[in-house]
Structure 1
Amino acid sequence: MMVSDAMGVEEHRNWSDVDYTKLLNGQAFPPNFMWGVATASHQIEGGNTNNWTRFEPTSKSGQSSGIACDHWNRKEQDLELIQNLNVTHYRFSLEWSRIEPTMGEWDEDAIAWYSDLVDRLLERGIQPMVTLHHFTNPLWWEDLGAFEKESNIIYWIRFSSRMFEVLSDRVEWWCTINEPAVYASMGYILGEFPPGERSFKKTRRVSLNLMRAHARCYRTLKSMANGSITKIGLVKNINIFDPYRRWNPLHRFQANLLDGMFNRCWINGLKTGRFKPPSALRSVSIEGLKGSSDFIGVNYYTHLLATPFMPTKVEIDPLIRPWEERTDFRYPMYAEGLKRAFEMVASLNLPMIVTENGVADDDDDMRPEHVRRHLQITSEAIADGHDILGFYHWSLMDNFEWAEGYEQCFGLYHVDFETQKRTLRESGALYASIAKSHRMPQVVILAGGLGTRLGEKTQHQPKSLIEVGGKPILSHILDWVKSQGCNRALVLTGHHGEQFAGFVHPGIELTFVQEPEQLGTGGALWNARESLEDEFMLLWGDDYHPIDYSSLVKHHREKSSPLTMTVTTEHESMNLH
């Protein structure tokens, strides 16, 4: 069912008629699509001391974050959870209050913890996406007024620059500010976030400074080393506002007003460089704002039905259509709105990334269908021509949900907060299956041979370790593997495997298999058979041909006729040429 007028199209599908075959069989997304999960520092790390720590006793739930998911002490365990979801990307935020607990004093151990997290992700073939501000402030900065004062922006830029300097040699994707409209409205209109105020005047001021901070951060980081090779963007939550009664002009007016305050003014600001804060009478030109994003992050959860009376307390159940299902957060599941979110930000002419999408559903009754529907919408939007690079599910695991405390569960993993046990939900298994079915095939590299073409140079050194242009041929091949969107490679080292000891390549999960003796191509594959995936691309370690295989992979998946190679037991002692 669709209802269309000047407010746009409010579509409601009969989802029982939707065919998910391509989605479930790996045919709905391009092979290099970014599959991710997302978290935020304060919600999972535990043991933080920031503006939220101080605010929590007076928050709606009255619950304290405490040790949260104890992620700070369970990094290795949680990295395994991420890897088991078959994702290629992981979005997390840096906790400024840990890194600079006192003005001008840096905690080098905290910085090293995040640097190590990046390294460990890359070892697993998972690309990090770093968020510089996700709702939390150090207490010293909060006491200075945080984003209420333009003069305070310099401190956040200093922090952002410091962490960019440390991590940008390994982190390509950066988010400046997460959901600035939520930070401003929840903290200064509804009073549900710190500092818990209700002031339209302060909301306007904070909103303006958030956009100033984003623009200055973008320009500063882009001017630094690695700035030209990183992707930096703003993360914008998109709330779809529909009039409860479309025939009622007051409902339509309210929906349009809210859309302007929470969506259009921010998008127009990024597009034009002139920002009109919520409830402001005029726009302000912000230096460097126009063109200050390499991509736009889209966080989408639902639509809201507007009437002249809108609750100022989020615990009041929002209105829903009679046929819609309520989530645990009480708002409706409305996947169709994600399409409208894409259309809303398309005017920016920027690549889009779904940086958050998920649902509060402790019993996991709704989440599997929620995952299917929103991925289906994303796939259709790509087919319609939208430039959508990736999808990050919110969240990796249940966590501290801000003002809601521990009552709302968004995780693909259930967390028992008494024991800290993590358990994969059905929805998590589904997401992992869909991600696996779409990712690029495993790359298998025959890297151990001494080489017929390079025999004079290799002597007793494997051909793939010969340096060309300042690094081994194998590194060049793995650069290509990464550019293809593949995050894992099986390296067959021959019987000189000890020469590969310590070899790493950022962003690629490497598995090495050494042969007990010279086995040849067929024998090498037979020897490594337990490490081979159902699909793999076979490359020779001295033959670097940077060909785009993604279209070939897409073609064979669409035709359901994958190429195959058969290795029999006889090949164990045969050399195939």
Structure 2
Amino acid sequence: MRTPSILLGAGAILSSLLTSSATAAAAPLPDEFLWGVSTSGFQSEGSPPDSNWARYSASGRTQDAIGDSVDFRHRYREDIARAANLGVDVFRFGIEWARVQPSRGTWDDTELRYYDDIVREITRHGMTPMITLDHWVYPGWVADQGGWTNSRTVEDWLANARRVVPRYSGSGALWITINEPTVYLQKELTFGGITAAQAPYMLDRLVEVHRRAYDLIHENDPGARVSSNLSYIPGATDAVDAMFVDRVRERLDFLGVDYYYGLALDNVTAVNAITDDFYDIDPQPDGIYSALMRYTRKFPGLPLYVVENGMPTDDGQPRPDGYTRSDHLRDHVYWMERARQDGAPVIGYNYWSITDNYEWGTYRPRFGLYTVDALTDPTLTRHPTDAVVTYRDIIGSGLPDSYVPARKLGFCSLVDLPTSCIDPP
């Protein structure tokens, strides 16, 4: 009598899970590997000009208003110096379209010089700028014409890119055209920038501006590397890829992957992402391995860059389970190294973020290497977390060969089905 195939499959999964080990040593990363930190314009600068997100923040529909945020606007030199002191190679930031173009046809030279100085500070400290053109924010005058529901926004967006890109060509910059396009879409749906019926048009327009911006950047700076970073959503990767990344594959010099949370039979806490309660999610570091291996198989030869990875805590308080920011950082670096060892062409890693900042409606989630109490501390003092020394040590000397992840391997990972369950690392 034949054994039912479902039983054979279950037996194979169980055998694989029982025999797999997360304690194998990971090969060290090469000298040319890029270590970085991330931030964004609207989230960290504070005192924003009129924009879609300035309006969302003031609408009363968010938990907190943006206010001064962590005032990167006036403290960028000290935050850039902190990043340099970590030993990182890359500093990611965003150029806010709403700042540099307050109205159609009007460019603010003072604001452009502000971003000039940011780039100058980054390069003066020996780091490479990673410049984001669109981190979910567009000017108020674009919102007044319907934002991404209006086809005219495509040419308006590109006019901004034509002003910004030539200005920083030759700086060695890495470029991110659009931050997490599918989450951008979701935020616009949530706050009324588009309706569900208009979502396909927004996606079409984001695809168009990415493709044209890619060409624009290479016309001005042929050696530049350009991408758009995707938000890795376990269990929905095929659908998410189909919305954007599959449509721009031939215009990616590397694929930016943002990995924050996983999914497994013994860890379904990712459901908290639906309500943005990310601090209630139990991290699953091994999922970054599965995410990176997925795109290694899907896009052979395309370099991968972890553009964002980090752990939020609830208003800066320790996690109830005792898992620290240092544990989280070491574990994810370990699994990233394992992915490289198994063939993933990972070229860089950015920690999100250098400081706490405004998490799209609230200051409650704290991601920063340096924590800042934006709501109650008028001095906005940057307090180092335990992960500052940890990250510096990782960049300087890597993980020890004997390192064992603090978080155990998820039971039947659902991060990249069926591979991540049937054939775990």
Q: TM-score, normalised by structure 2?
A: 0.81
Deviations 1:103-155 (A, max 9, x none): 11111111111111111111111111101000111101122222223331111
Q: Which residue number corresponds to residue 96 of structure 1?
A: 97
Query: Which one of 404, 407, 421 corresponds to residue 364 of structure 2?
Result: 407
Deviations 1:137-179 (A, max 9, x none): 1101122222223331111111112111111121331110000
- Distance apart, 1:304 and its partner CA: 5.1
Question: C-alpha distance in 2, partners of 1:4/1:179?
Answer: 39
Structure with the bigger percentage of strand: 1
Q: Which residue number corresponds to residue 270 of structure 1?
A: 248
Question: C-alpha distance in 2, partners of 1:301/1:4?
Answer: 33
Question: C-alpha distance in 1, partners of 2:35/2:234?
Answer: 24
Question: C-alpha distance in 2, partners of 1:29/1:4?
Answer: 38
SS in 1 for 2:245: helix
Q: Which residue number corresponds to residue 252 of structure 2?
A: 293
Q: Which residue number corresponds to residue 195 of structure 1?
A: 192
SS in 2 for 1:421: coil
The alignment status of 1:236 with 2:236, answered yes or no, reads: no
Of structures 1 and 2, the one with the larger relative CO (CA 8 A, separation 6+) is 2
Q: How does 1:531-546 map to 2 (within 5 A)?
A: none
SS in 2 for 1:314: helix
| Superposition RMSD in Å | 3.0
Long gaps (5+) in structure 1:
242-257, 272-290, 318-326, 440-556, 559-577
Q: Which residue number corresponds to residue 393 of structure 2?
A: 433
Question: C-alpha distance in 1, partners of 2:17/2:38?
Answer: 28
Q: Which residue number corresponds to residue 205 of structure 1?
A: 201
Q: Report if aligned partners of 2:288, 2:336 keep a CA contact under 8 Å in 1.
A: yes
Q: Which residue number corresponds to residue 46 of structure 1?
A: 46
Structure with the bigger percentage of helix: 2
Q: Report if aligned partners of 1:130, 1:171 keep a CA contact under 8 Å in 2.
A: no
One-letter identity of the residue aligned with 1:260: D
Q: Report if aligned partners of 1:68, 1:399 keep a CA contact under 8 Å in 2.
A: yes
Deviations 1:216-275 (A, max 9, x none): 111222223x2x11111111111111xxxxxxxxxxxxxxxx43332344333234xxxx
Question: C-alpha distance in 1, partners of 2:286/2:9?
Answer: 16
The alignment status of 1:363 with 2:317, answered yes or no, reads: yes
Query: Which one of 275, 293, 297 corresponds to residue 315 of structure 1?
Result: 275
- Distance apart, 1:209 and its partner CA: 1.3
- Distance apart, 1:438 and its partner CA: 4.9
Provide closer, same or farther for how the CA distance between residues 339 and 12 of structure 1 changes in structure 2, counting only shifts above 3 A.
farther
Q: Which residue number corresponds to residue 351 of structure 1?
A: 303
Q: How many residues align?
A: 376
Question: What is the percent sequence identity of the aligned residues?
Answer: 27
Provide closer, same or farther for how the CA distance between residues 229 and 4 of structure 1 changes in structure 2, counting only shifts above 3 A.
farther
Provide closer, same or farther for how the CA distance between residues 231 and 259 of structure 1 changes in structure 2, counting only shifts above 3 A.
closer
Provide closer, same or farther for how the CA distance between residues 292 and 313 of structure 1 changes in structure 2, counting only shifts above 3 A.
closer
Q: TM-score, normalised by structure 1?
A: 0.60
- Distance apart, 1:315 and its partner CA: 2.9
- Distance apart, 1:61 and its partner CA: 3.6
Q: How does 1:43-442 map to 2 (within 5 A)?
A: 43-49=43-49, 50-58=51-59, 61-188=62-189, 191=190, 194-195=191-192, 199-224=195-220, 226=221, 228-241=222-235, 258-271=236-249, 291-303=250-262, 314-315=274-275, 328=279, 330-346=280-296, 347-349=298-300, 350-361=302-313, 362-363=316-317, 365-403=323-361, 405-417=362-374, 418=377, 419-438=379-398
The alignment status of 1:18 with 2:12, answered yes or no, reads: no
Question: C-alpha distance in 2, partners of 1:89/1:235?
Answer: 15
SS in 2 for 1:239: coil
Q: Report if aligned partners of 2:147, 2:193 keep a CA contact under 8 Å in 1.
A: no
